[in-house]
Amino acid sequence: MRQLDEHPETPALTTNAPAELSPSLRAELRRLTPARIALRRTGVSLATSEVLDFQLAHGRARDAVHAPLQPASLLAALRSLGQGEPILLHSAAPDRPTYLKRPDLGRKLSESSRKRLEDLANPECDLALVLADGLSALAVERSAGPLLAELLPAIPNLKLAPICVVEQGRVAVGDAIAHLLRASLVIVLIGERPGLSSPDSLGAYITWQPQPGRTTDAERNCISNIRAEGLSYPEAAARLMHYIREAREKRLTGVALKDPDEPQLALGRPDPKGAR
């Protein structure tokens, strides 16, 4: 058997590597990402503080999934945006446990909500904005208002439907709402499935001419991780404006509509069909 010293280019094998990263390196790694890396340990086990931190994050994620939407404060925030009176709706899921067990019911409006929209006799419009609690009502409560405050001033030339808030809603509930409001384009802002570092992540789904029960996920575009610690509200608004412009120009959304290049993310670029 050849010995290692016969190959000077092969580094010597050592068994005295440090068991712990230096505090400065650990701090630098944690500055770059919220992921659980460089965890402290005691012997072969994680340090107690790391275990407790994981349990806290897991508890926050579970709470975010089960916590109900607080519609009163959300509706008040939407009124302050100057877009008229928002409409509070409900999906066909009567309560949170049913919503979590029956995703199909979260994609449909309750009969009373459907009737309410049918009675509006709303004229055709360019864009419907829908807010749904999804799997994190906390995300909608924290981020939907700030995001709309960035987005709405950039689209003054579009005819907007009344903003709708849906309790126990999933993404596809926006299809039925857009259809009833006669909107050619719908944006659904919804709480995403919580992660251990992000219980309040907001997603935005954009769909051109949605058809209830027929539109597929492949026909939507998605922007994820919208929150103070993730994708910023100005950048998310700029990306939404890109999709609004492209959808209206090409009359489609989904896999055929490509993500924007960074230089294109300017809210002020004119839209050939009226938005800017």
Three-state secondary structure of the chain: CCCHHHCCCCCCCCCCCCCCCCHHHHHHHHHHCCCCCCCCEECCEECHHHHHHHHHHHHHHHHHHHCCCCHHHHHHHHHCCCCCCCEEEEECCCCHHHHHHCHHHHCCECHHHHHHHHCCCCCCEEEEEEEECCCCHHHHHHHHHHHHHHHHHHCCCCCECCCEEEECCCCCHHHHHHHHHCEEEEEEEEECCCECCECCCEEEEEEECCCCCCCCHHHEEEEEEECCCCECHHHHHHHHHHHHHHHHHHCCCCCCCCCCCHHHCCCCCCCCCCCC
The dihedral region occupied by 182, where left means phi > 0, alpha psi between -120 and 50, and beta the remainder, is left
The first and second tokens of residue 168, run together, are 């126990």
**Residue 92 covered by a domain:** yes
pLDDT score, position 262: 65
Determine the average pLDDT of the residues in 193-222. 94
- State the pTM of this model: 0.82
Confidence of residue 158 (pLDDT cuts 50, 70, 90): very high
Determine the average pLDDT of the residues in 132-154. 96
**Residue 2 covered by a domain:** no
Number of domains in the chain: 1
pLDDT score, position 41: 82
**Residue 99 covered by a domain:** yes
The dihedral region occupied by 134, where left means phi > 0, alpha psi between -120 and 50, and beta the remainder, is left
Of residues 160 and 197, more confidence is placed in 160
Confidence of residue 64 (pLDDT cuts 50, 70, 90): confident
**Residue 50 covered by a domain:** no
CA atoms within 13 A on the CB side of 2: 6
**Domain limits for position 256:** 69-264
pLDDT score, position 79: 95
Confidence of residue 266 (pLDDT cuts 50, 70, 90): low
Q: How far is the C-alpha of 38 from the C-alpha of 253, rounded, in Å? A: 41
CATH, residue 84: 3.40.50.11240
∠ Cα 269 272 276 (to 5°): 35
**Residue 107 covered by a domain:** yes
Of residues 106 and 269, more confidence is placed in 106
**Residue 56 covered by a domain:** no
Determine the average pLDDT of the residues in 232-248. 95
**Burial level of 131, CB count in 10 A (0-12/13-18/19+)?**
buried
**Residue 63 covered by a domain:** no
The first and second tokens of residue 226, run together, are 């919208």
pLDDT score, position 265: 60
The first and second tokens of residue 54, run together, are 């994981």
Phi, psi of 96 (to 5 degrees): -65, -45
**Residue 88 covered by a domain:** yes
